[in-house]
């Protein structure tokens, strides 16, 4: 039986429960494991803690992950990469070098007769206007062109600094706040008024969440992160589950 896998928020480039390099090795071990039965792999944003892709320069490091992704692609595994708020300046490097398409907006996919709404999740739902403004600025081609004029040493230093500042200003929240205070749940419920979706798959929240929405059947799944939880989702054609890799104490919120 082949399966569809989803993961997000590796945040490679910053240390967490493990160092970035130790976590990268852990992710490669996970990729080796899922390669045995994976039909598709969705990487749903913030794979890297910071990224700016110059025409001829990309950030140093991540060779273990990139090499493994290249191997999986050459073995025929479809891989899809969504930009997050930390790696939104990913452009064509993965597509040109590895054959991995880049998505900047959520997409709808169908697996086993079930509809999946997939995206990183940043900027969705009510409120958070400050971030939505910053995202609009960073997504502007003129701003990207101006930033590219900086020498890579200066540009990547600024990206690293901004990423760390953003994390301190918006620390990961380890608590589930319920439907009224979780922006992505509100977004999912609003979307159900527009389309029949079985599963909403998001990252960004850094918390493994499995929550049944207002219609009593659709589910909001947040993939959590690999800084703390090592969590991911897998769909086997009939059931969708949140699981944990090398983390026996993993906990699912929202149930």
Map 118-162 to HEC letters. ECCCCCCCCCCHHHHHHHHHHCCHHHHHHHHCCCHHHHHHHHHHH
Q: How confident is the model at residue 122 (pLDDT cuts 50, 70, 90)?
A: confident
- pLDDT for 184: 94
Helix, strand, coil in percent for the chain, rounding step 5: 30, 20, 45
Q: C-alpha distances in angstroms, 42 versus 116, 202, 238?
A: 12, 11, 18
Mean pLDDT of the residues in the chain = 88
Helix (H, G, I), strand (E, B) or coil at 33: helix
Domains of the chain, by residue range, sit at: 3-244
- pLDDT for 180: 82
Tokens read off for 7: 């993961």
| pLDDT per residue as tens digits for the range 218-249 | 999 999 999 999 999 999 999 999 999 999 88
Rounded to an integer, the average pLDDT of 138-153 is: 72
User: Distance from CA of residue 173 to its chain's centroid?
Assistant: 17
Q: C-alpha distances in angstroms, 107 versus 31, 68, 120, 123, 198?
A: 23, 25, 10, 15, 13
Rounded to an integer, the average pLDDT of 204-208 is: 93
- pLDDT for 90: 83
Residue holding tokens 């897998």? 234
What DSSP string runs through 176-236?
---TTT-HHHHHHHHHHTTS--SEEEE-SS-SEEEEE-TTSS-EEEEE--TTTT-EEEEE-
| pLDDT per residue as tens digits for the range 82-98 | 998 888 788 888 999 99
Give the whole-angstrom CA distance, residue 191 versus residue 24: 35
- pLDDT for 91: 84
Rounded to an integer, the average pLDDT of 173-189 is: 86
Q: Which residues make beta-bridge pairs with 221?
A: 201, 210
How many CB atoms sit inside 10 A of residue 94's CB?
22
Whether the per-residue pLDDT at 252 is higher than 90: the answer is yes
Whether the per-residue pLDDT at 169 is higher than 50: the answer is no
Stated pTM of the model:
0.88
| pLDDT per residue as tens digits for the range 61-90 | 899 999 999 999 999 999 999 998 888 788
Q: Is the Cβ–Cβ distance between 42 and 80 less than 8 Å? A: yes
Pick the CATH number of 3-244 from 3.40.50.2300, 1.20.1050.10, 3.40.50.300, 3.60.21.10: 3.60.21.10
- Return the closest-CA partner of residue 145 out of 53, 49, 47: 53
Instruction: Select the more confidently predicted residue: 24 or 162.
Output: 24
Rounded to an integer, the average pLDDT of 31-41 is: 97
Contacts of 88 (CB under 8 A, 6+ apart): 104, 135, 138, 139
- pLDDT for 223: 97
């Amino acid at each position: 039986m082949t399966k569809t896998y989803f993961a997000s928020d590796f945040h490679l480039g910053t240390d967490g429960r493990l160092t970035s390099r130790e976590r990268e090795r852990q992710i490669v071990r996970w990729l080796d494991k899922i390669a045995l039965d994976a039909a598709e792999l969705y990487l749903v944003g913030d794979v890297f803690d910071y990224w700016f892709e110059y025409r001829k320069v990309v950030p140093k490091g991540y060779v273990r992950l990139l090499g493994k992704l290249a191997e999986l692609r050459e073995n025929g595994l479809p891989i899809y990469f969504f930009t997050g708020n930390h790696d939104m300046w990913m452009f064509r490097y993965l597509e040109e070098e590895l054959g991995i398409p880049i998505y900047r907006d959520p997409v709808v996919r169908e697996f086993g007769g079930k509809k999946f709404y997939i995206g990183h999740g940043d900027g969705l739902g009510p409120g958070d206007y400050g971030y939505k403004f910053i995202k609009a600025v960073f997504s502007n081609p003129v701003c990207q062109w101006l930033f590219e004029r900086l020498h890579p040493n200066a540009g990547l230093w600024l990206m690293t600094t901004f990423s760390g500042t953003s994390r301190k200003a918006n620390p990961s929240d380890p608590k589930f706040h319920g439907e009224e205070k979780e922006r992505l749940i509100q977004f999912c419920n609003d979307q159900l008024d527009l389309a029949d979706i079985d599963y909403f798959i998001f990252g960004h929240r850094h918390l493994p969440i499995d929550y049944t929405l207002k219609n009593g059947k659709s589910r909001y799944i947040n993939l959590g992160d690999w800084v703390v939880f090592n969590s991911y989702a897998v769909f086997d054609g009939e059931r969708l589950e949140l699981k944990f890799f090398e983390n026996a104490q993993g906990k699912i919120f929202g149930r």
